Structure 1
Amino acid sequence: MQNLDHLLQNYFGTLSHEELSVIQPYFREEKLAKNDFFIRSGKICNRLSIVKTGILRVYALSEDGKEVTQWLAQENFLLTEVSGFFFDQPSRWNIQALTETELLTITKEDYIKLCHDFPRWSEIEKRFIMKCFSMMEDRIFTHLSLTAEQRYNRYFDQNKSLFTQVPLQFIASVLGMSPETFSRIRKRQVSNS
């Protein structure tokens, strides 16, 4: 699977042809229809996927009953619920397909087998976790150090296509702003274009 090779290289770093041939059989294609759930809160997530096509929303309900969108996963993104997949804890998040979605998925059982069958996996996994940690640090720093308008501009530059494919209140939530603030900034940006 040429596409899987590319996605694995993108997430896990440089892998030889032999290493890819060991890893590939553990990943299977999976499809979600629009509005299907990858995982619901309260359930234990038992799979990790790479998004081939489509868009998924990671969200939870706040204490006051409002939906809070934490992330929008799109093509080439890795997808799981970390607490469930790695620690067998019930998911805090719902992950739902916003569009028809194709995934390359490894189950937790196969992930554990891969760790045993491919000793170098722990090194690859460590590099991958560090990459994820770096992305999380960057996101936290962005929320703490940039203005709402700067966060909007940065997210727009990195994810232009999402602005026409998902409800804008989801993007506002990802950016940590109210729909009203998001709308004001968006109107300013459109008028300045």
Structure 2
Amino acid sequence: MQEFLSYLLQFGSLNQQQIDLISKKATSLKLSKDDYFWEAGKMVRQIGFLTEGVIRICYYNNKAEEITRYFIDENHLILAGDDIDEHYIPSVYLQAITDCHLVVFSKKDWKEINDTIIGWENIVQKITAKTHREKIERRSELISQDATERYLDFINKYPALLNRVPLAYIASYLGITQSSLSRIRKNIR
């Protein structure tokens, strides 16, 4: 819980009463490797903050191929949709790549925090803007690079993920086959 509170305080200030409310509403969730936090087509019921582990966001394309869109590692907030009142049904899966620990809130409790804490929306908007910028930066560079550049960029930017994420998922994220990734890795050693 302390990791989540420290994370929040980077984006705004909270008094002790507000911190107590957040702490009271939070619960702990453990996901085993390969478990889903969210599933495509199923309504999201929880907001989460990843304190330990790696989750991947993936979907199936029109050829029924599994595509990894990106990875979420520690100290990231996993939000549902743009509006807490909406019934958000994702088109992607959020799957644990490793055993994961999260601080979670039901949507009802998240809404209560939102309705009670003045400035909460501003904190969440700052977090959302930061996350959106990170996603755009990740994806935009992948478009203009060849496969080797994409892999080298990945290992430079996300060295902590390299040994935690299966090569098949990294290849999918980079938009290449696993055999192509193996050749690239062999050539750069």
- Which TM-score applies when normalising by structure 1? 0.84
CA distance in 1, matches of 2:135, 2:54: 20
CA distance in 1, matches of 2:124, 2:156: 29
| Residues 83 and 90, structure 1, Cα contact 8 Å, conserved in 2 | no
Deviations 1:33-62 (A, max 9, x none): 222221221101121111111222221111
Relative to structure 1, is the Cα distance of residues 84 and 165 closer, same or farther in structure 2, using a 3 angstrom cutoff?
farther
- Which TM-score applies when normalising by structure 2? 0.86
Q: Which residue of 1 is the match for residue 149 of structure 2?
A: 150
CA distance in 1, matches of 2:124, 2:46: 15
Deviations 1:132-170 (A, max 9, x none): 221122123212233322221221122223222222010
Once structures 1 and 2 are overlaid, which stretch shifts more, 62-71 or 149-158? 149-158
CA RMSD of aligned residues (A): 2.3
AA in 2 matched with 1:180 = S
CA distance in 1, matches of 2:92, 2:63: 16
Once structures 1 and 2 are overlaid, which stretch shifts more, 164-173 or 137-146? 137-146
Once structures 1 and 2 are overlaid, which stretch shifts more, 86-95 or 130-139? 86-95
| Residues 44 and 85, structure 1, Cα contact 8 Å, conserved in 2 | no
1:92 shift after superposition: 0.9
Deviations 1:81-106 (A, max 9, x none): 53796742422112222222110112
Q: Equivalent residues in 2 for 1:94-109 (5 A)?
A: 94-109=93-108
Greater share of residues in helix: 1
Between the aligned residues of both structures, percent identity stands at 24
Q: Which residue of 2 is the match for residue 15 of structure 1?
A: 13
Once structures 1 and 2 are overlaid, which stretch shifts more, 14-23 or 171-180? 14-23
Q: Which residue of 1 is the match for residue 185 of structure 2?
A: 186
CA distance in 2, matches of 1:150, 1:112: 43
Gaps of 5+ in 1: none
